[in-house]
Homo-oligomer: A and B are copies of this chain.
């Protein structure tokens, strides 16, 4: 017979979850990628994520907690794999196309709107940019710190313009890569 006073209740007791946490975070990242943080309401989240209010706060603590989880997942699932592909790319032009074609809007928005007001976001953004710097530096024929940083920033700038003018084509990345492909 078990001693009742020693019973430690496991985490897997009770009603099982009706949602996949990883999938919820991924869906949240998608929402935060094309609207500003303040533009995504908790109602929007519970409406599109298949998770209900109570579970959201139980699991992530707050709207900001879910946002940070989404940003971390974006870094791990999108930025780092992209960086690996970039580092293995054949020259700056191919690398630029990879970055331009990747979905980095969440990182972009985080850098512009949240990082200046949220140190934790700023740290994650800085980490992501460093990862991209390192990868892009590996494909530049004559890399130096300032140049790789400028290359990374320039690619983000191209995406800004594409977002703002809703242009599907991005001929700028080729021109940019050519300017950085000097040896």
Contact = CB atoms under 8 A, between A and B. Distances in A.
Interface of A: 34-39, 108-113, 115-117, 122, 125-126, 129, 144, 146-147, 149-150, 152-158, 160-161, 163-166, 171-176, 178-180, 182
Contacts of A149: 161, 171-172, 175
How many chain copies? 2
Contacts of A180: 179
A125 to B, nearest CB: 5
Contact of A157 (B115, B153, B166): B153
A113 B108 CA distance: 10
Given A146-B175, A156-B157, 18 more contacts: A36-B113, A38-B38, A38-B39, A111-B160, A111-B161, A115-B163, A115-B164, A116-B164, A122-B166, A144-B175, A149-B161, A150-B158, A150-B173, A153-B161, A157-B157, A157-B158, A160-B160, A179-B182
Contacts of A165: 115, 122, 125-126, 129
B164 A122 contact: yes
B147 A179 contact: yes
A174 B146 CA distance: 8
A4 B121 CA distance: 50
A156 B163 contact: no
Nearest to A172: B150
A171 B146 contact: yes
Contacts of A112: 108-109, 112-113, 160, 163-164
- For the complex of A and B, list the 10 residue pairs with the smallest distance between their C-beta atoms, beginning with the closest: A157-B157, A154-B154, A146-B175, A153-B157, A115-B164, A111-B164, A38-B38, A150-B172, A150-B176, A156-B157
